[in-house]
Amino acid sequence: MQVYQGLDTIKKTFDNPAVTIGNFDGVHLGHQALFRKVVSISRSKDGDAVAITFDPHPLKMLRPDSPPKLISTLDQKIELISEAGIEHLILLPFTMELAATSAVEFVDRILHRIIGVEDLVVGYDYACGKGRQGDINFLKKQGDLLGFKVHVVPPITIDGMVVSSTKVRGLVAQGEMRQVRLLLGRYYQIRGIVQVGKRRGGKVVGFPTANLNFEKEDLCPKTGVYVVQVLHEDRCYGGVLNIGYNPTFGDQRLTAETHIFDFNKNIYGHPIRVNIIQRIRDEQKFAGPKELAAQIFKDVETARLILANESDLSES
């Protein structure tokens, strides 16, 4: 997939392009339905499959005091869009100037003249331009005027839930990772570089951990203990993850501490990816390391049973 950093990097219109536009945070099943439609149309016309997204997320600019916590990093979003079969991804820097662009100008200048859209694929609730003026009816009228067709993808519903980024964020915050997986079509994943922690996991408790730090803008699952998969150097390991403040030792910083099964490597400074499968208990304060170790031993047994019965051990 070719990635374009802004409109200035596009030197000519695309070939018979089918185009979709959105924030695509999380690349959930609703977004994937848009991409499937784009790929299907582009292949039927021997044209280009194009997606347009924004960086940063528009609400970081429009609501700086309460920006959304993002389901996926930009790098992860690009990976997932590429895996969906999109051939060209345009990253539009979201500025206040872009936010002030009218729907008419957005469609005429960007979609029509720069990209050359022939088929526009949008979700049922999509709108573009300043104040979201460019709703579905507007886009269809512009399509008739400028010579492109608008395809509207209906909402995707799973187990009575309409798939949306807002719904996914809410479920992650509640620790409902099984339901999150239903809406994403994959496990929720956190990524990072393994940090040097307090070094208590192995020496004091008897269960060494790989530690990741959360930043305030990260979408953090509810504190507690989770069954996970850990991806490191193209291998997948089982594990248990504690998200929280480690109350037994009185820590203050929110961290993700993962004990990786059947693993004995020094990976400080290494990147890892952690697929979060299921929450198994609340974070607890114990009387000391001995009691904590006894509970972790039980957590490991529980996690191994869950992993053994997991139907899809995908390494996404």
Please, which residues have CB within 8 angstroms of residue 153's CB and are 6 or more apart in sequence? 30, 33, 34, 37, 121, 122, 123, 124
In the chain, the percentage of residues whose pLDDT exceeds 90 is 75
Domains of the chain: 2-158 (3.40.50.620), 188-308 (2.40.30.30)
Comparing 37-51, 83-97, 148-162, 195-209, which segment has the lowest mean pLDDT? 195-209
pLDDT digits (tens, 9 = 90+) for 157-183: 999 999 999 999 999 999 999 999 999
Structure tokens at 103: 């729907």
Decide the pairing of beta strands 255-260 and 235-244: antiparallel
Residue 202 scores a pLDDT above 60: no
Cα–Cα distance measured from residue 221 to residue 257, given in angstroms and rounded to the nearest whole number: 13
Structure tokens at 279: 């929450």
Comparing 64-68, 154-158, 262-266, which segment has the lowest mean pLDDT? 64-68
Is there a contact between 196 and 267 (Cβ–Cβ < 8 Å)?
Answer: no
**How many Cα neighbours within 13 Å face the side chain of 51?**
31
Residue 140 scores a pLDDT above 80: yes
**Residue 241: helix, strand or coil by DSSP?**
strand
Is there a contact between 12 and 4 (Cβ–Cβ < 8 Å)?
Answer: no
From the list 282, 22, 61, the residue with the least C-alpha distance to 153 is 22
- For the sheet with 235-244, list strands across it: 188-193, 271-281, 224-232, 235-244, 255-260, 210-213
pLDDT digits (tens, 9 = 90+) for 15-36: 999 999 999 999 999 999 999 9
Comparing 54-68, 73-87, 89-103, 127-141, which segment has the lowest mean pLDDT? 54-68
From the list 191, 231, 235, the residue with the least C-alpha distance to 213 is 191
Number of residues written out for the chain? 316
Is there a contact between 153 and 37 (Cβ–Cβ < 8 Å)?
Answer: yes
- Phi then psi for residue 93, to 5 deg, are -65, 120
pLDDT digits (tens, 9 = 90+) for 266-293: 889 999 999 999 999 998 888 778 888 8
Most confident of the ranges 219-228, 242-251, 303-312: 219-228
Cα–Cα distance measured from residue 177 to residue 168, given in angstroms and rounded to the nearest whole number: 9
Amino acid symbol at 174: Q
Cα–Cα distance measured from residue 221 to residue 244, given in angstroms and rounded to the nearest whole number: 10
